[in-house]
Amino acid sequence: MHRVPNSDRSPSRRRISLAGATTACFAALALLAGCTGGGAGDSTGTPTGSATPTSTGGSSSAPAPVALAAVITTSPQGDGKKISPAKPVTVSIANGKLTSVTMTSPSGKAVKGVVSPDGASWHNTEVLGYSKTYSISATGANGDGKPVTKRETITTVTPDNMTMPYLQRIGGYPLGHGATYGVAIVPIVHFDEPIGNETAAQKALTVTTTPHVDGSWYWSDSQNVHWRPQHYWASGTKVTVTAKVYGKKLGDGLYGQADTSASFTIGRRQVTIAHDTAPKSVNKVKVYNAAGHLIRTMNTSMGEHSGVSVKGNYINFYTLDGTYTVLAHEQPAKMCSASYGLPANAPGGYACENIYNATKISTDGIYLHELLTTIYAQDNGYDVSHGCLNLNAANSMWFFKHSMIGDPVEIKGAKHAPTLQVDQGGDWTVPWSKWLKGSAL
């Protein structure tokens, strides 16, 4: 390819001397230094010889920011809606701190409350009452000290009706706070009014155990809910039952009247098993300790395998199969056939009499008790009672002294015997799968 001569390299172009080139380079460097600053004589970055700005009005500063206005709010708000007295009322402040909060009852009494450590909120620590209007006056200030005030009124609900929860055990007996019970104890919450919303009521109930025990509630009817684990309790378990129903809506217009709680301990394990083998052999009541060792064997006569109809009502004389619990010790128990619908002058009826060493195990009157007139039947395999387990004096006294409220008594083997029901005290007879279905949750 033909190469075109470079005109810059033409012999006719003027040449620059070395001295002139050196002078031009120094001038360029000086110009560059003047543009970028940082000359050798100024470590601050101000070009050497450049002017320094001067102040004409003294020191200059930005104006101080203005603090935002403080705003006080209450929760729940007094917007005409009536609130539960169990729900705390909170007073909060944004962009500041509270300096004073007063909540006053209709009678003029100040409601107790506490301010948070950061001064940003207050809430009442005293439970409010039903059907009352409370006045709130709150003051605070923002960062500039500018005050703000909030006044509010709130009104609590007025129940159409209230229900009180009572903590009980099987048989309607009070659940004793601080008591020790056997391994089959069943705590019950009894409401003195039918519950319209069992789900809401059950959410207000808790059973706390140490160590932890899984269990479930079972509604036997609209007023009674029972709690038990799948198997007997372990000895030494600490149990607390709490009904926190105050301020809770439990039905249409129905609210809880007050909260209640009770704690108890599970005692030593003792299980009694009675086999109805009459007339083939003598019935035996056997008592086992925690290790499963047999500690007592007792002869008994149980319910005769029959019944009688009175005015269309069939009265059963069986000792029902199922798991009972020890409910009470009575010394003596007053027993009358009329108490279960059989008149004293009817066939098989009897007048009231005192029965000694009587340990009650069902709500409808089944006992282990002394009955000396049936010792012949106890020792020879005859069932002659109306459902109770007859024992001699020594055996009935031993069981009376050595059984504990809540001990299980398992009765088995009576041919054609009906099964013990929950309303008779047969909570442990209910299969676990069915028990779980009795929960409202």
Q: For residue 293, what is the domain's CATH number?
A: 2.40.440.10
Same domain, 287 and 410: yes
What is the dihedral sign for C-alpha 397, 402, 405, 408? Answer: negative
In a domain, 39, yes or no: no
Q: With respect to residue 282, please indicate whether it lies within any of the assigned structural domains.
A: yes
Structural domain that includes position 198: 161-268
Instruction: Render pLDDT for 202-233 as a digit per residue (tens, 0 to 9).
Output: 999 999 999 999 999 999 999 999 999 999 99
Nearest CA-CA partner of 179 in 359, 21, 404: 404
Domain contains 137: yes
Q: Is residue 60 part of a domain?
A: no
Domain count, the chain: 3
Beta bridge partners of 297: 286
Of 155, 171, 190, the one marking the end of a domain is 155
* CATH value at residue 112: 2.60.40.3780
Task: Give the closest residue to 195 by CA, choosing from 262, 240, 248.
Answer: 248
| Alpha-carbon separation of residue 370 from 176, 283, 359 (angstroms) | 28, 15, 9
Last residue of a domain, one of 247, 268, 289: 268
| Shared domain check, 324 and 219 | no
Q: Is residue 58 part of a domain?
A: no
In a domain, 288, yes or no: yes
Convert the pLDDT of each residue in 150-188 to its tens digit.
Answer: 999 999 999 999 999 999 999 999 999 999 999 999 999
Q: Show Cβ contacts of residue 306 under 8 Å, excluding neighbours closer than 6 positions.
A: 317, 318
Helix (H, G, I), strand (E, B) or coil at 40: coil
- Which CATH number fits the domain that encloses residue 243? 2.60.40.3710
Catalytic positions, please?
Answer: 369, 388
Which single residue is written with the structure tokens 């009329």?
338
Query: Among 268, 300, 330, where does a domain finish?
Result: 268
pTM of the model: 0.81
Residues 88 and 99 in one domain: yes
Rounded CA-CA distance 138/90 in Å is 11
Shared domain check, 214 and 328: no
Assigned token pair, 374:
């049936």
Say if CB 87 and CB 247 are below 8 A apart: yes
Is residue 355, in this structure, part of any structural domain at all? yes
Helix (H, G, I), strand (E, B) or coil at 26: helix
At a CB cut-off of 8 Å and minimum separation 6, what does 339 contact? 365
- Written as tens digits, the pLDDT of the chain (441 aa) is 433 344 343 333 333 333 343 333 333 333 333 333 333 334 333 333 344 444 444 455 677 788 999 999 999 987 788 999 999 999 999 999 999 999 999 999 999 999 999 999 999 999 999 999 999 999 999 999 999 999 999 999 999 999 999 999 999 999 999 999 999 999 999 999 999 999 999 999 999 999 999 999 999 999 999 999 999 999 999 999 999 999 999 999 999 999 999 999 999 999 999 999 999 999 999 999 999 999 999 999 999 999 899 988 899 899 999 999 999 999 999 999 999 899 999 888 999 999 999 999 999 999 999 999 999 999 999 999 999 999 999 999 999 999 999 999 999 987 778 899 999 999 999 999 999 999 999
